Structure formats: C-alpha cells, structure tokens
Amino acid sequence: MNDQIRVLVTGSDGFLGRHLVPYLARRGYRVIAASRSARRSEDPNVVGARLSDLSQPFDWEPLLRKCDVVIHLAGVAHKLVAENLWDRINHRATAELSLAASSCGIKHLILVSSIAAQSGSSSATQLSENDPPKPSNAYGRSKLAAERAVLASGIPFTILRPVVIYGPGEKGNFAVFHRIARLPIPLPFGALTAQRSVLSIENFNSAVETALVNPRARNETFIVSDPTPVNVADLIRRYRNSLGRRSWLVPIPEKWVEALLKAAGQDSMWERLGCPLVALPTKLLAIGWNPTEPAPVRSCPG
C-alpha cells in the first residue's frame, strides 16, 4: 500500500514540490515535505521538515532515518549565481545526500535533473538518453555532475531529465513565453515553426510516480516530456486565445526575427523562441508511463 511508503521530498516549497507533494499525498503516500520554510500542512499524509541552506554542508541523516524513498528536487535554477554556487548546491549537496542515503539504507533515490544536463537550450537533432551529454552552461554542468554523483554512490536510483515544465506558478522559459503572450500588442512570431518539447506539471507528477512504482525504472535515466512537441507560435496563440484575446501574430520571416533579436543582444531569447529542442519520452513510455495530457498547453493564472 502507498500509505506504507514514506517519501522524503526535498525542495517541497518550489514550483515542482508545491504540485508534487499534494499529488503524492492524494495517492496515499506518506510525505515528508522538506524545505527551508518547513511549512505545516493540513493534510494528515504530509509532514513538514526543515531543510537547511544547501550552499553549506548539511547533515542528511536525521531526515533520511524517517523515510524509505527520496525524491530530490532541491537545487538552484532560473537565477544568476556564480558557477561555484551552482556546483555546491546542485552537485555537491546531491553527492552528500546520495552517499548519506546509501549508508542509511534508503531503498530508492529519484533525482530530478534537467534536460540541460544533456543539451543546450536548442538542438538540431532529436535528443535521446543514448546521446552523449553536452551541457552548455554552469547549470547544466552542475546537474550532470549531480547525476554522476548519484551513480557513483551505489544507491538504487532513477534519474529524470524533464524539459521545460508548464503549470500554475511556472518559472523559466514558459514564464517568459506567457509574459510575452500577455503583451497587448501584435507579436512578430507568426512564422516561427521550430518544434519544442514541453512538459505539463500533471505529466511530471505521473512520471515521478512511475519512477516510484515501476521496477523497470530502477537504475535508469529518462527524458520526461509530453509526447507531442509544440512550436512557439502555437504556444502563444493558444495562451492568448485562453485569455479571450485574438492571436495577433504577424508572420514576419524567421530570419528577420533572428536578426532583430541578435542585434538587440538577445541571442539566448532567439535560441528559446526560434530554434528546435525535441526530446521525446520514448524510453519512459516503453516501460508503461501513461501521460494524461500529451499535447495541450493549458493557460496558467497571472
């Protein structure tokens, strides 16, 4: 029974944790929600626990003695920090956690990594788990180092590499897309056709549960994405329509949009808007993952 499984979720007050913790509680798991705020929950299946600042060494053992499984979400993302801080929080804290979990006899560690551990923000070819990892920034390098630390610890593991995730409270690229879409002006993106893989928060939650319960997920690494990619023009069109607005997308040639953004020093913005990144969850689907929202991009509050 799920209610016999005690799951420690680190970083429970972040975007992913705020959705995952109640999802697991509804599914009958006993959740220890660890965060720096240590919020109390009215759900009897959820117990709050304090998580220290991971930029400093932390004694994981008291938390680990209370659980059977660890889902490690805690880390730093979507912030401008020094490379050594990316490494300290995302890599070294994970290494310390995995070694402590191994010595405490934890049955399973699920590390939520990122597609950034495998690739930059665009790729001319479709990505798979078999591709050699080529992170292009400090964040991606720290995530890849964390993955390798988990493998080296000897603990039973599952590594998930989600693409950009959308849902209420989203951050990162999707938050940028939605800020752009809310502008009450015509946008010059109607001709953008590059396909991008995205992931709903609902599908993220179900992928984590698949990793929890499916023995074929043990000691494996999985890309996690909605099975059907989208393009940025469709994404903005759907979001504006969900707000009751007309699309108001002007089909300016892609080369013009690229030139304008790069002239404005927005090379990274062009890469997110106009370049492809397709990473399909073929391997995860093959072990029985059943995503419930394979294609639609739903609107989010705000």
Q: What is the pLDDT of residue 226?
A: 94
Neighbours of 118 (CB within 10 A): 25
pLDDT at 25: 94
Give a yes or no: residue 216 inside a domain. Answer: yes
What does pTM read for this prediction? 0.90
The boundaries of the domain holding residue 187 are 172-194+230-274
The domain total for the chain is 2
So what's the pLDDT on residue 294? 44
| pLDDT, tens digit (0-9, with 9 covering 90-100), for 154-194 | 999 999 999 999 888 777 667 777 788 888 888 888 888 99
Domain presence at residue 293: no
**Would you say residue 21 lies in a domain?**
yes
In a domain, residue 300? The reply is no
Q: Are residues 80 and 190 in the same domain?
A: no
Same domain, 182 and 128: no
> 172: exposed, middle or buried (C-beta count within 10 Å: 0-12, 13-18, 19+)?
middle
Residues 85 and 157 in one domain: yes
234 falls within a domain? yes
Q: Which tens digit of pLDDT belongs to each residue from 75-96?
A: 887 666 777 888 999 999 999 9
Residue 222 buriedness (CB in 10 A; 0-12 / 13-18 / 19+)? buried
> For position 6, what pLDDT does the model report?
94
Max CA pair span of the chain: 58
* Inter-CA distances, 279 with 117, 131, 201, 245, Å: 13, 11, 17, 31
Q: Which residues in the chain come in under a pLDDT of 50?
A: 294-302
42: in domain:
yes
296 within some domain: no
- Contact at 8 Å (CB) between 174 and 200? no
Q: What is the pLDDT of residue 79?
A: 65
**Same domain? 14 vs 158:** yes
Residues 205 and 158 in one domain: yes
